[in-house]
Structure 1
């Protein structure tokens, strides 16, 4: 298993963990967006640009969800 494959495995595992924990804190939603960026980078680096584009779209979706969360503005964890 090469470094790029390990990075991709880490990225999608990180995304899964963050997605499962999103109800616990708004920070998990932001972390999910970071995971999507990592997944997108993996897709482009691997040469699977459709995967990279879809992960970029998921990044935008996650950031919009995080931005609209009431707890984010109130400073609550």
Structure 2
């Protein structure tokens, strides 16, 4: 069952990465996929993967925050 979580995380990451140029929400979806992959790494006890995916999630969220359309700062 845990493997399914990892598979879903990777599918979300790949799909949203491929579509991120279309809309900033895909960048946010990529951040969610990375956070999900980080949680999966926690569940399987892979600390290096947990750290790497956690960092990617933070970077992707920062990219989303900086690419929002003007006037959405509230």
Shift of 1:13: 1.0
Query: Runs in 1 of length 4+ with deviation above 6 angstroms?
Result: none
Q: 1:15 aligns with which of 9, 13, 16?
A: 13
Return closer, same or farther for 1:70/1:10 CA change in 2, 3 Å cut-off: closer
Unaligned runs of 5+ in 1: none
The aligned counterpart of 2:38 is 40
May I ask how many residue pairs the two structures share in their alignment?
72
Aligned-residue CA RMSD (Å):
1.2
- TM-score (ref. length: structure 1): 0.87
The aligned counterpart of 2:63 is 65
- TM-score (ref. length: structure 2): 0.90
Shift of 1:70: 4.3
Unaligned runs of 5+ in 2: none
Distance 2:20 2:66 in 1: 14
Distance 2:21 2:29 in 1: 12
